[in-house]
Structure 1
Amino acid sequence: MAELVYRPVIGVAKTLFKALDLKIDCQGSENIPRSGGAVLVSNHIGYLDFVFDGLAALPQKRLVRFMAKESVFRHKVSGPLMRSMKHIPVDRSQGEHAFQHALASLRSGEVVGVFPEATISQSFTLKSFKTGAVRLAQEAGVPLIPMALWGTQRIWTKGRPRNFKRQHIPVTIRVGEAIEAPKDQYAGAITRRLRDRVQELLEAAQRAYPVRPKGADDTWWMPAHLGGTAPTPEQVKAAEAG
């Protein structure tokens, strides 16, 4: 079936990136298979992460179907677009439906994008991973493709205003080699291995990032353990609990 919406949306995104003069450094796209199902697994630090994850798959001529919270599909603007691009709504009260939807997409040869942290990390460090991505890969018999993003939080993230007026922001993307998910292995163990690999890719992306905070007022996007003023994971957890 022709992609009547997805490809034009890609064109709009590329035009926006060009207008903002984003400096995108993407390495490892060749690790995304050119055909067949796969689960693309990424860290989550900004609202536009799915766009950059999808961008990494374009050199392999793949369109990623992302799992996203159901409320996005109810929005009058984003809803029709998300449905037309065949993304997958996730209602946390009925998670099995989303799982089966994603499984059917994988079995039909699609690439499904998953954020196993389930929500944006406000500390910009990796949260714990849920096992759903691994269980999908096991059931569908497809590989897991780990990847990491850095810099997207500077454009638009939780608790911060959109930054579409600031130009020249670098975005670093690293895609790792496939991880197999045999059915006879414990999903939790594979999930831990997957998270470790995403952590390695994230650290590689951070090392390659071409800029550092410019003065005391520009440290919010750096994790505390790297000398920034983003809240620590413990602080985020305490704020959410309070």
Structure 2
Amino acid sequence: MDDSRQSTPTGQSKTDALRELSTLADPARQSLYKAVSASDEPITRDAAATAAGISRTLAAYHLDLLVDAGLLGTTFARRDGAGGPGAGRPAKHYYRIQQERNVSVPPRNYELLADLLATAFDGDSDGVVHSALLQAADVEGRRFGAERPRQPAVPDPDASDGSTEEAEQGESDQGQLCELLEERGYEPMLESDGSIGLRNCPFHRLSRSHTDLVCGLNHALLSGVLEGRGDDSARAELCPREGRCCVVIRPES
């Protein structure tokens, strides 16, 4: 599979960030951006159009605007298995640019504050700061979870077998948990084994230079979310994977 991705600049002014984010004001572009973001691999124009529920021509126009704004990148690839004479030209595929965009008026430098706190954490030889940070993350997570408590299953008196009902209740509960996580800046996805994986880390930039700190905080925060909503906190497991948040929320056993 041919693959050549466009590079993107790392520097970004406030004007650039405003321009990029304003591009997402259009509903069609929002839908296309979400469709591309939800895919693990670059997707074609046709696939994005289908996911967004718009025509291919309209999708092409809006996708290219998102590329021009620096929100999406492109790569060219042939269909899997296609090659040699007659295979046709490689098709354009789209993927999300992994770059944070923050705009505040007047400007604020919270990233610097985060870096300073993380550096202080690195110098914590006796573990006091570490313990305090994990405790704070757990408390905040429990507060999040308490806002959306787990709903108890309501038995169906006419059902002869409760196994199907229990499975449906579990799926509904996972869906409610995904909604809560989305509100808190995560991008949850239900995986084939019933686990909830997270496509992103809300602290992505900091995680590259302070991985242990960020992974520990994510784990404490998400464990607290589960506990706060009356769930089993042990379902949140550290499971580092490339291109994913380091925490996975396992289904109930």
Structure having the higher helix fraction is 2
TM-score bin, normalised by smaller chain: under 0.3
Normalising by structure 2, what TM-score? 0.25
Structure label with greater radius of gyration: 2
Which structure has more relative contact order (CA 8 Å, sep 6+)? It is 1
Structure having the higher strand fraction is 1
Normalising by structure 1, what TM-score? 0.26
